[in-house]
Structure 1
Amino acid sequence: MKKGIAASKGYAIGNALIKEENSINVEKRYVKNIYKEEKRFEKALELSKKQLKEIKIKSEREIGSDKAEVFESHIMLLEDEEFAGAVKVKIKIEHINAEAALYDVVSSYIKIFNSMKDEYMKERSTDVKDVGNRILNNLAGQVFPLNEIENDKVVIVAHDLTPSDTALLDKSKVVAFVTDIGGGTSHSSIMARTLEIPAVVGTMDITDSVRNGDLLIVDGVEGTVIVNPDENIIKEYRAKMKAYNMDIDKLKSLADVETVTKSGKKVDILANIGMPQDVEQVLENGGEGIGLFRTEFLYINRTGMPSEEEQFEAYKYVVEKMEDKPVVIRTLDIGGDKKLPYLSLPEEMNPFLGYRAIRLCLDREDIFKPQLRAMLRASAFGNLRIMFPMISSVEEFLRAKDVLKQCMKELEKEGRTFNRNLKIGIMVETPAAAIEAEELSRYVDFFSIGTNDLIQYTLAADRMNEKISYLYNPMHPAVLKLIKKTIDAAHKNGKLCAMCGEMAGDESSIPVLMEYGLDEFSMSASSILRARQIIMEN
């Protein structure tokens, strides 16, 4: 038996298919025809871009746009003229083959990222490596077609799976996957949960312990893998699979049921979305509103700012689809990992503690005001609420609210219709906001605790950094105290307190949050039914 991390729940029995690590031997060769070599590179670049766009579209359809965001950064790198230009310059000046030029450029990028102190930026080296390998594979004509597997009931065994690997898995044939490395918060693990594919990661050496064709039992509940089990163990796990599948069917019956605790308290379960089309999955799973509508999709992968009209149409679509259910729209959270090429943002040593989110918007009213105007106009069509991210003081909130009031006056002069009494809240995602929650609650209409950032800022631990992932603990006493303090402060002043981080959908955290008196839980649409079951049983 191999022990790892239970990354995606469920049970599976299938034969191992080992995904060999692509080992492309990059040899540096002198080339005479520079033009031909540049064209080879351009062709591989375009093919890579086409593949990633197809993967992104497929992922958005199957797992939601928020989970598919990782592919946006990959596409942006492929479209980066500086990156492609560096490869072409090497080909031209050194008269070397495209593979060697690409390898040198990718290696230099990785070296730069790895030398950075900021752990998040170090992680970007993985993205560069993944993109570089894709182009190299296309230059060499090598692929591992995870979406073209011949046998049924296959368990993919790999050293690691990239997000694009996971997105391409053929669910009709792949019943689970197991890896040597990885963590429960990696992009691949998140995708596996959304796709409902059992997964165990971080086994250390599964690829050395398994051969192609070995029968494997993958226990995505306990995080174990059994190699070539006997008949008794197979029988035991078939029974577990049957019980688990019956439980899943029971969950689906809760889609149209109100979330009420055993004591009779009504609790609202909302969803986090990243694009307007995500609303369909929310409604299918019985979501009682949108607790976090990320607006960054309107700004990325384009050459200029979205117009007010374009933003208005996107917000209006979601608000109308949700009818009278609440739709909480977060203002632009750009910065950190989401830089925009047309904004010319300054380079920062630690962007997650720098010029981002509300700090950027307050400084750039040319960005902020059109978005607020679009939100206000959309508020005439449903229950829209506005939420400001990264607020750390009362003064910051009042500055943001003042800009909103200016937009209201402008729209009134223009004769535009909007909801003058819409609710305005903040994300509590900095320790400062949690500590000052009682003071802040006198001014805001609601809180929404963003645990993803709150945890990493409180514990000084990047959740995406596998070397220190053990420090990222939602149940750390310091984190729980800040959450409890925030909820109590909101209730003291008669305000609603929600949560929109991953912790809101975490099965082990939900009972604790209920005990603390959290009013609304907002999570990925795929987590709604399980959360509803847990809340109704408590």
Structure 2
Amino acid sequence: MTLDGTAIDLYANIEVPDDVVQVKASGASGIGLYRTEFLFMNRREAPNEEEQFEAYKAVAEAMDGKPVTIRTLDLGADKQMNADTERTCTNPALGLRAIRLCLAEPQMFHIQLRALLRASAFGNIKILIPMLSSLTELRQTLLLIERAKQSLRVQKIGFNNEIEVGGMIEIPAAALCAEAFAKELDFLSIGTNDLIQYSLAIDRTDDSVSHLYNPLHPAILQLIEITLKAGLKLGKKVSVCGEMAGDSKLTRLLLGLGLRQFSMHPSHILSVKHQVLQSDLVKLVPTARKILSSHDSDKIEPLLQKMNL
């Protein structure tokens, strides 16, 4: 809760079910991002439906009714199952990955969706779709989710028919069309890591250009604000689940821009919570607006330092 009485949700990111122990110790409001690709990596064959179901169910039950947002498979780019399945691509970050890969491999996606839906009968699970860039992709995905639901109905297997489906905003095109996505989704989650990479055309793992990777670039802040405004207009919740959410130096800025849901590594929750408890939105918003109106990164840093005093 901020000093002015505004409630802020602090969620945790996890990679494997065992991470739930750290999530609970951190006092998180729930899990804002469960990266399911780690179930698939470093193995010859993809996990079957039962193995995935047990992993998702274990997390849902362990969280005792708190939200568990599970991202569908985000393989590709720097994350591959094994060397045998690795595809040759000049620029893998722009290739067949995340939801593109899932739509290209509908049987693999169907198995994961069935496992997720089955697990939703045992906790407060939400589905998150990564790397959406068009409404066509989204509608294809929603159709496949409905087909997975129907296959479970035929077999009389229980699931939450009202399960929420959200989309990740991590491509500039998606941020610019955030309102259109918000109309067809239950919530949005901003993946700032890829959003920065794609917006600034910078590979942060490349030492020759990584110094140019800048979360405070004016364009990044404007794309975040566009997405937050779209959610506010349509009454849809928006979270940030990239590294910006766990950077306590950016907490007050994100609060001032309108963010009310953060999701981060559990180890960062305490420092971000400390900033939230000492923040007064009435005082933060004017400075955040000044930062947003600046087109000069060099002028943003001093304003941010002032905001954090």
- For normalisation by structure 2, the TM-score amounts to 0.88
Q: Secondary structure at the match of 2:183?
A: coil
Q: Secondary structure at the match of 1:497?
A: strand
Query: Which residue is 1:477 aligned to?
Result: 218
Q: Secondary structure at the match of 1:271?
A: strand
Q: Report which structure shows greater RCO (CA 8 Å, sep ≥6).
A: 2
Q: Secondary structure at the match of 1:421?
A: coil
After superposition, what is the alpha-carbon deviation per residue over 1:366-417, rounded to whole angstroms, capped at 9, x for unaligned? Answer: 1100000000000011110000000011111111010000000000110011
1:384 matches 2:125: yes
Query: Which residue is 2:298 aligned to?
Result: none
Cα offset for 1:482?
Answer: 0.1
Cα offset for 1:469?
Answer: 2.0
After superposition, what is the alpha-carbon deviation per residue over 1:445-485, rounded to whole angstroms, capped at 9, x for unaligned? Answer: 10100000000110111122222122111011000000000
> In structure 1, which of residues 431, 446, 460 is the aligned counterpart of residue 187 of structure 2?
446
> In structure 1, which of residues 354, 358, 362 is the aligned counterpart of residue 99 of structure 2?
358
> In structure 2, which of residues 52, 62, 69 is the aligned counterpart of residue 328 of structure 1?
69
For 1:520, the aligned partner's letter is Q
1:404 matches 2:145: yes
Cα offset for 1:341?
Answer: 3.2
For 1:411, the aligned partner's letter is L
After superposition, what is the alpha-carbon deviation per residue over 1:149-174, rounded to whole angstroms, capped at 9, x for unaligned? Answer: xxxxxxxxxxxxxxxxxxxxxxxxxx
After superposition, what is the alpha-carbon deviation per residue over 1:406-457, rounded to whole angstroms, capped at 9, x for unaligned? Answer: 0000001100110011110011000010000011110011010000000011
Q: 1:433 to 1:346 in 2, by over 3 A?
A: same
Cα offset for 1:496?
Answer: 0.3
Q: Secondary structure at the match of 1:311?
A: helix
CA contact (8 A) 1:324 1:383 kept: yes
CA contact (8 A) 1:500 1:522 kept: yes
Query: Which residue is 1:288 aligned to?
Result: 29
Cα offset for 1:345?
Answer: 4.6
Q: 1:342 to 1:404 in 2, by over 3 A?
A: farther
Measured in 1, the distance between the counterparts of 2:127 and 2:258 equals 23
Query: Which residue is 1:433 aligned to?
Result: 174
For 1:313, the aligned partner's letter is E
Q: Secondary structure at the match of 1:486?
A: helix
CA contact (8 A) 1:272 1:525 kept: yes
1:305 matches 2:46: yes
Measured in 1, the distance between the counterparts of 2:84 and 2:100 equals 14
Query: Which residue is 2:265 aligned to?
Result: 524
Large movers: runs of 4+ above 6 Å: none
Q: Secondary structure at the match of 1:281?
A: helix
Gaps of 5+ in 2: 280-309
CA contact (8 A) 1:304 1:342 kept: no
Measured in 1, the distance between the counterparts of 2:6 and 2:195 equals 27
Query: Which residue is 2:235 aligned to?
Result: 494
After superposition, what is the alpha-carbon deviation per residue over 1:468-512, rounded to whole angstroms, capped at 9, x for unaligned? Answer: 122111011000000000000111111000010000011121111
Q: Secondary structure at the match of 1:385?
A: strand
For 1:334, the aligned partner's letter is L
Measured in 2, the distance between the counterparts of 1:480 and 1:343 equals 40
Q: 1:505 to 1:341 in 2, by over 3 A?
A: closer
> In structure 1, which of residues 509, 522, 529 is the aligned counterpart of residue 250 of structure 2?
509
Cα offset for 1:363?
Answer: 1.0
Measured in 1, the distance between the counterparts of 2:184 and 2:275 equals 33
Q: Percent of aligned positions with the same letter in both sequences?
A: 49
1:418 matches 2:159: yes
Q: 1:342 to 1:309 in 2, by over 3 A?
A: farther
Query: Which residue is 2:6 aligned to?
Result: 265
Q: Secondary structure at the match of 1:465?
A: coil
Measured in 1, the distance between the counterparts of 2:241 and 2:2 equals 20
After superposition, what is the alpha-carbon deviation per residue over 1:6-48, rounded to whole angstroms, capped at 9, x for unaligned? Answer: xxxxxxxxxxxxxxxxxxxxxxxxxxxxxxxxxxxxxxxxxxx
For 2:195, the aligned partner's letter is L
For 2:207, the aligned partner's letter is E
Spell out the pairing of 1:76-475 with structure 2 (5 A cutoff): 260-341=1-82, 344-475=85-216
Measured in 2, the distance between the counterparts of 1:347 and 1:269 equals 39
Measured in 1, the distance between the counterparts of 2:110 and 2:260 equals 30
For 1:525, the aligned partner's letter is P
Measured in 2, the distance between the counterparts of 1:324 and 1:339 equals 32
Q: 1:399 to 1:325 in 2, by over 3 A?
A: same
Measured in 2, the distance between the counterparts of 1:509 and 1:455 equals 15
- For normalisation by structure 1, the TM-score amounts to 0.51
Q: Secondary structure at the match of 2:162?
A: coil
Measured in 1, the distance between the counterparts of 2:87 and 2:266 equals 35
Cα offset for 1:268?
Answer: 0.5
Q: Secondary structure at the match of 1:355?
A: coil
Q: Secondary structure at the match of 1:475?
A: coil
Cα offset for 1:342?
Answer: 7.6
Q: Secondary structure at the match of 1:461?
A: coil
Measured in 2, the distance between the counterparts of 1:345 and 1:442 equals 36
Q: Secondary structure at the match of 1:442?
A: helix
Q: Secondary structure at the match of 1:386?
A: strand
Q: 1:277 to 1:262 in 2, by over 3 A?
A: same
Cα offset for 1:338?
Answer: 1.5
Which of structures 1 and 2 has the bigger CA Rg?
A: 1
Report the number of matched residues. Answer: 279
Cα offset for 1:343?
Answer: 6.6
